[in-house]
Every structure is written in C-alpha cells, then in structure tokens.
C-alpha cells in the first residue's frame, strides 16, 4: 500500500484525526513560507545568488522551482534543445531552499521494495523500475565528476548498511533480498548480508540482528544543485536565467494568442511562455489545483549531530538505514564528522499522521526531535559512541516532501483537468516521496526529452530513446481519473 494511504488507514488512530489529515491534504498548500527552520546545508556554504535582472516579457519555457528536479530538466533542455530555447527558472525563496536544500543527501536504493513491486506490477515492470532508480547513483556521481564539483559537493560512493534489530523484520528483509538477487543478479552483485557473529566488529553495530549492505551515495545537496546551475548559467548566458524571490502567483492561458501561450504572474510582473514546467514538489497543487488529493505534502525532519569521541569517521565508507519496530531513520556522515540523521516519522504525533498534509517548513515536530536527538548513541551502543564534545545536536530542521496517492512520481504533460487551463504546454515533474535522490534526476531528463521531442526542438541526432523510462510514472488522463484519494474516511478507512 502506498505510504500516505497506509498512514491514513492506520486503524489505531481515531477516524476524526485521519479526517483532519485528509482535510489538510485537500487544502491549497500555498506558496513556500518565507520563515523557515534553519537547514545545516544552507547555513554553511557560500550562498549562490544569481544576479537579479528585470524580468523578460516572453520566454520559451518557464521552470517553476530550483531544486534538483528543476536543475536536471534545465540541463537536458539546454544540452539537447536545437533552437536555443530561452529558459527562465523562477524560485519563490532563495535558490534550492526547498526539500533539496533540506534533505538527507542520501542516494540510496536498497532494492528492498523489489518484492512488493514485483507482486503489484509484475516482474518485468518491477525490474525496469528498480533499474531506473538504481541508475541514479552512477549518473549523479558522473555529473559531479564531469562538472568538477564532486569535491565541493562531497559527492561520494559509500556502502549502505541497512540495519535490523528485530528477528521478524530481519527474516523478512532476508527474503526480500533473496527475491531481488534471484530476479536481478547482475544489478545485485554488490548486495550482501551479515547476521549475528558475521557482522564485522568495525561496523560498531553490536545490537544489530542483521544487516543488508549495498552501494549508495552521499552528497551536500545544495552544493550539488547550485554547482550545476552555476555551470549552466556560465555556459548558456544568452539562453538561461534564474530569478529568485520571485514566486509564481498564478498562471493563465492566453486565449488571445494564436499559439498556446501561458501568462505567468509573479510578484515582479507577468511573463509569457509557451511551456510551464512545475517542479514545485510539495507546493505543486497550489498552481495545479487538480493534483490535490493526488500529490500529498508531507513534512520530514533532519538533524546534524556531533559524533561521540569513540566513533571513528566513516564518511567515505558507509551510510546507514536503521529499521525499527515502527519506522526508520537514515544517516550519512560528512568528512568533517557531522552525523546527518533524518527520519523519525513514525515517532511523530499520531504515528506521523500529524505530518501529512503539511507543506510548511517553518516548524518541526517535538516528538521527532526527541527521537532523533537520542537515537545515535543507542543504535551504535554507548560503548562505541563515547562522550560528545560540545553541542550534540548542531542543527534540527524540517522540509516538505510530496508523496503521490499511488506511490509513484508524476512526470509529463499535465491534463487540462489537472490545471483547469488549456491543455498543451504545462508539465509536471514531482512526487518523489522521501526518495528524490534516486528518482528526480532521471525523471527530469525524461520530461525534458518529452518536451523537446513533442515541440520539435530536439537537437539533430539527439537522443529520443525513452525506453528506459517506467511508463507508470507518466501523466495520463486515465491515471489522473483513477488516483484521487477519497475525500472522506468511510467506515474507518480511506479506500
């Protein structure tokens, strides 16, 4: 069952509270708030501030949102667009201050989901979806190398350790691993497992019942995205512009225009565009009202913590996923030692239900703070952790994710039923849940390719192959018509 539906259907939570969550989900998420909790990733690096210019009157393409999705789409459009399309990226706040500037920076696909996907989609489609997600690690690290930003963005390959503490969940994980390895032996070569006495002592995970290990990545997401955007601004100065602190307030279709054109209204004026691409994550349904009840904002929480003095730095070696009786946490370590721990969702109010339908990052959950602040010395064991010198929690902040009602991202041209405007030039690339780092980059590439091909703008000999792209992620009228959550809790559940 998709994540949001599962939480909404939790029978241990009173139906009235679940109804309140549904009411939030169907409410306009609004614009990103100007007051935010303070993300560690955004506090420290040199700020990337593109020069503000006056807004152009007209461009080919407006990209709304400056996170990883917007960056990926822009790169493909500029690299593969034949007729030098003019592109304007509009960002409501400062560049990359949404989920991408607030996340865990963890590029992880454990393949744990393979078994569920195979049961629901069939083996071949499940393999294709998994291959698509797994491809992100190599791809994102290669982009960092190519642009020379790998060191600055601390982009690195590590081994993930997915740690289980209980007997039941561990047996279940082993079975899931077996099915993945059997179905996808080539892709699974780096996956392995350890249990009981076979768990290496230097993992410092004495309390673990078992561990699944495989390849993963870690990076400083703000530096990664701003490194890419800076490169594109330098390489395509006549074609590409970014304007921050410029929220898109409304979109109108220009009925007077002979070709389909949109008027994009901002706080600084209105721009005409042939295409508008919504890369606005949890805020998507502010401008695309038909997506309410299909794309669901969910608040997540992250922390930066100081390691104990007995814990050796494993920044270049490992990242972690801790699987509990309820919920999970994820962790990477920075080369300077900080432990970047996120998660705690299930420890939030009403098993996390209170985080559903929340599209603001100006506050955070006290219960999740309490969980995250105390988790590390417990999972590694106090004997391995030692004492913390100075502040144990350096920063704690929130961010907003977008989950879809069917559990998959939405990528492609939006139907008029979703925008309530003329159908043709509005596109969406959103709803990556808590796994944007293994979905957003290639979804962005696919969307940009679809747009260039559809508009006859693809560079001569350009790559039109999208056979690698899972069709379940596409926007279709049929998907639109069948995926809206029911508006009310009926007989205790949300069908």
Ligand X SMILES: Cc1cc2nc3c(=O)[nH]c(=O)nc-3n(C[C@H](O)[C@H](O)[C@H](O)COP(=O)(O)OP(=O)(O)OC[C@H]3O[C@@H](n4cnc5c(N)ncnc54)[C@H](O)[C@@H]3O)c2cc1C
Q: Which residues pair with 89 in a beta bridge?
A: 63, 242
Q: Which is nearer to ligand X, 209 or 371 (CB)?
A: 371
To the nearest 10°, the Cα dihedral for 96, 469, 241, 150? 60
If one asks whether residue 427 binds ligand X (CB under 6 A), the answer comes out as no
Q: Which is nearer to ligand X, 70 or 210 (CB)?
A: 70
Burial of 425 per CB tally in 10 Å (0-12, 13-18, 19+): buried
If one asks whether residue 412 binds ligand X (CB under 6 A), the answer comes out as no
CB of 39 to ligand X, least distance (A): 9
If one asks whether residue 68 binds ligand X (CB under 6 A), the answer comes out as yes
386-390's contacts with Cβ under 8 Å and 24+ in sequence apart are 386/308, 386/309, 386/310, 386/311, 387/308, 387/309, 388/306, 388/307, 388/308, 388/309, 389/306, 389/309, 390/306
Show contacts with ligand X in window 224-253 (CB under 6 A): 247-248
CB of 456 to ligand X, least distance (A): 27
Question: Pick from 59, 436, 442, 485: which binds ligand X (CB under 6 A)?
Answer: 436
Show contacts with ligand X in window 249-288 (CB under 6 A): 279-281, 283, 286-287
Question: Pick from 7, 13, 18, 32: which binds ligand X (CB under 6 A)?
Answer: 32
Stretch that binds ligand X, among 13-21, 61-69, 117-125, 417-425 (CB under 6 A): 61-69
If one asks whether residue 156 binds ligand X (CB under 6 A), the answer comes out as no
Q: How far apart are the first and last CA of the chain?
A: 11
* Residue of 482, 53, 25, 18 whose CA lies nearest to 245: 53
Question: Pick from 111, 273, 353, 437: which binds ligand X (CB under 6 A)?
Answer: 437
Q: Find where tokens 């497992």 sit.
A: 193
Show contacts with ligand X in window 105-144 (CB under 6 A): 105-106
If one asks whether residue 442 binds ligand X (CB under 6 A), the answer comes out as no
Kindly tell me the sign of the dihedral angle through the C-alpha atoms of 472, 474, 477, 481.
positive
Question: Pick from 62, 356, 438, 485: which binds ligand X (CB under 6 A)?
Answer: 438
Contact 26, 355 (CB under 8 A): no
Contact 228, 40 (CB under 8 A): no
Question: Pick from 67, 85, 227, 470: which binds ligand X (CB under 6 A)?
Answer: 67
Name the token pair of 43.
């506090």
117: Cβ contacts below 8 Å, ≥ 6 apart: 125, 126, 129, 130
Question: Pick from 97, 110, 323, 365: which binds ligand X (CB under 6 A)?
Answer: 97
If one asks whether residue 188 binds ligand X (CB under 6 A), the answer comes out as no
Question: Pick from 240, 322, 432, 441: which binds ligand X (CB under 6 A)?
Answer: 432
If one asks whether residue 99 binds ligand X (CB under 6 A), the answer comes out as yes
Residue ranges binding ligand X (CB under 6 A): 31-32, 64-70, 90-93, 97-100, 102-106, 247-248, 279-281, 283, 286-287, 300-302, 330, 342, 399-401, 430, 432, 434-438, 440
């Amino acid at each position: 069952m998709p994540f949001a539906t599962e939480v909404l259907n939790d029978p241990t939570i009173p139906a009235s509270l679940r109804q309140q969550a549904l009411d939030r989900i169907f409410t306009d998420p609004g614009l990103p708030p100007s007051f935010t909790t303070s993300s560690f990733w955004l506090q420290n690096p040199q700020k990337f501030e593109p020069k503000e210019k006056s807004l152009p009157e007209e461009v080919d393409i407006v990209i709304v949102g400056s996170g990883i999705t917007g960056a990926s789409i822009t790169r493909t459009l500029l690299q593969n667009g034949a007729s030098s399309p003019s592109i304007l990226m509009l960002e409501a706040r400062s560049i990359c201050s949404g989920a991408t500037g607030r996340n865990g920076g963890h590029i992880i696909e454990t393949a744990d989901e393979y078994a569920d996907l195979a049961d629901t989609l069939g083996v071949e489609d499940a393999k294709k979806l998994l291959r698509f997600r797994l491809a992100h690690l190599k791809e994102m690290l290669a982009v960092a190398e190519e642009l020379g930003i790998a060191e600055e963005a601390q982009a690195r390959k590590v081994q993930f350790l997915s740690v289980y503490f209980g007997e039941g969940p561990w047996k279940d994980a082993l079975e899931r691993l077996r099915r993945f390895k059997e179905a996808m032996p080539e892709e699974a070569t780096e996956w392995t497992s350890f249990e009981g006495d076979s768990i290496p002592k230097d993992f410092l995970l004495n309390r673990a019942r078992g561990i699944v290990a495989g390849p993963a990545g870690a990076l400083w997401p703000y530096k990664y995205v701003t490194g890419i955007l800076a490169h594109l601004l330098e390489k395509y100065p006549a074609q590409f512009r970014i304007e921050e602190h410029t929220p898109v307030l409304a979109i109108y279709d220009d009925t007077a225009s002979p070709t389909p054109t949109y008027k994009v209204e901002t706080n600084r004026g209105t721009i005409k565009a042939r295409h508008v691409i919504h890369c606005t994550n949890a805020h998507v349904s502010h401008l695309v009202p038909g997506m309410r009840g299909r794309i669901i904002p969910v608040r997540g929480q992250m922390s930066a913590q100081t390691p104990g003095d007995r814990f050796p730095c494993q920044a270049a070696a490992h990242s972690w996923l801790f699987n509990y009786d309820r919920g999970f946490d994820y962790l990477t370590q920075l080369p300077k030692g900080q432990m970047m721990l996120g998660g705690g969702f299930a420890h939030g109010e009403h098993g996390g239900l209170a985080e559903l339908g929340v599209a603001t990052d100006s506050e955070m959950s006290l219960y999740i703070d309490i969980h995250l602040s105390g988790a590390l010395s417990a999972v590694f064991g106090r004997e391995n952790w030692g004492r913390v010198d100075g502040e144990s929690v350096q920063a704690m902040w929130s961010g907003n994710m977008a989950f879809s009602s069917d559990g998959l991202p939405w990528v492609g041209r939006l139907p008029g039923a979703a925008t309530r405007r003329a159908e043709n030039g509005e596109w969406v690339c959103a709803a990556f849940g808590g796994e944007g780092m293994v979905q957003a980059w290639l979804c962005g590439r696919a969307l940009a390719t679809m747009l260039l091909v559809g508009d006859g703008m693809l560079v001569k000999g350009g790559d039109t192959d999208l056979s690698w792209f899972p069709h379940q992620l596409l926007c279709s009228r049929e998907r639109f018509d069948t995926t809206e959550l029911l508006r009310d809790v009926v007989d205790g559940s949300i069908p």
